[in-house]
Chains A and B, each alone.
Chain A
């Protein structure tokens, strides 16, 4: 079984997006596929029960700020065949909510707690989703969102010791190695 065959078989059942092959060359064992949010549960149940993807490797998110979307990546692993399949789900960034899959893989509950705290994506019904995960007493927007300005937050919250100098490595090394050259490198 190749990943292409698996994709063709699954696409006949579910409205999958285009197949993205992450590793070119002979050992094509990591692919990504986009799935509509409404079909995610059916797809992962099919992959788990019929195709041998028994293991949830990770569940993570990407903040596409400009598009106003979050990309959730469910990375599944087929241990028998040593295949990894990533399911990508795009959800809206405003009032981001996604269906919980903690009943499919209990480990997902931990990832979902993390995503809720760090990205503000809600997973209604997931165990202990309301509890704090890593942060304690966080009172700002979720810190992994790209519109969260971590530098500004750190400057406002933590006092700085005066006298700290910053050397941009590129400029600093250029001045060290080529002192005659102008700072822009032209």
Chain B
């Protein structure tokens, strides 16, 4: 663990010594909880319709698949006409596209970004690397199954999938959300211990809190 993350005594400018433990002081430790559906089905359906029509993507390209999103967000394929847009921060996004191979080092950042997103949130695995490792099946530093580490709602197969495939994927995701099956965040909360166990098995230097939002 990095020295700046260790528990230590710090002397303030006024001469008072106090204890600092960055991993506990700066983060809320409460694990995620299952968010219940709205009290009546018609309201939940309305919510789901609204969620399906405003897919906001976290602009975090993890692998080479990120290159497919540039033509998608620019006039050639123009995903914005479907209510899909890219956001610069996890706080404003509800869809996380894992675009291609995910190294264990990026996985750590991806987990942090995913946990910082607001509920309800969805994950799309883009490209064959997220499904079974793809061409990185024998690599020492890329994961092979994304759904071991994050709850995946939809996979888009291909190496790489074209932007059209992504647009079709967005349409499928909309159907999933409208049907009330986009329950990834709740799955993550329910199986939190299992996800953490998997994550910690591949991330050897775990220098962050278990749940950081």
Minimum CB–CB distance for A157 against chain B, Å? 6
B205 nearest in chain A by CB position:
A137
Q: How many A-B pairs fall under 8 Å by CB?
A: 56
Using C-beta atoms within 8 Å of the partner chain, give the interface range for chain B. 20 to 34
Q: Tell me which residues across on chain B come within 8 A of A163, comparing CB atoms.
A: 132
Can you name 24 A-B residue pairings with CB atoms under 8 Å? A134-B105, A136-B105, A136-B203, A136-B204, A136-B205, A137-B203, A143-B140, A150-B138, A150-B140, A151-B138, A153-B140, A154-B138, A154-B139, A154-B144, A157-B140, A158-B133, A158-B143, A158-B144, A158-B145, A159-B148, A160-B133, A161-B131, A161-B133, A161-B145
Q: Is the CB–CB distance between A161 and B104 below 8 Å?
A: no
Question: Which residues of chain B have C-beta atoms less than 8 A from A148's C-beta?
Answer: 140
**CB pair A161 B140 closer than 8 Å:** no
A169 to B144, CA, bound (A): 22
Closest to B134 in A: A164
- Closest residue of chain A to B204 (Cβ to Cβ) is A137
A148 CB to closest chain B CB (Å) equals 8
In the complex the two chains form, is B138's CB within 8 Å of A136's CB?
no
Separation in Å of the B148 CB from the closest CB of chain A?
6
Which secondary structure dominates where chain B touches chain A? loop
The answer to whether A164 and B202 touch (CB under 8 A), given A135-B105, A136-B108, is: no
Known contacts A137-B203, A139-B204; A160/B138 CB under 8 A: no
- Classify chain A's interface size: 20 to 34
CA distance A150 to B141 in the complex (A): 9
Instruction: Give the nearest-CB partner of A160 in chain B.
Output: B144
Tell whether B77 is near chain A: CB-to-CB under 8 Å: no
State which of B137, B140, B205 has its C-beta within 8 Å of the C-beta of A164: B137
A161 adjacent to B202 (CB under 8 Å): no
Q: Provide the residues of chain A in CB contact with B205, threshold 8 Å.
A: 136-137
Known A137-B204, A153-B140, A154-B137; judge A160-B145 contact (CB<8 A).
yes
| Chain B residue contacts of A134, Cβ below 8 A | 105
B203 nearest CB neighbor, chain A only: A137
Q: Distance (Å) between the CB of A83 and the closest chain B CB? A: 35
Instruction: List the B side residues contacting A137 at CB < 8 Å.
Output: 203-206
> In the docked arrangement, what's the CA distance between A163 and B133, Å?
12
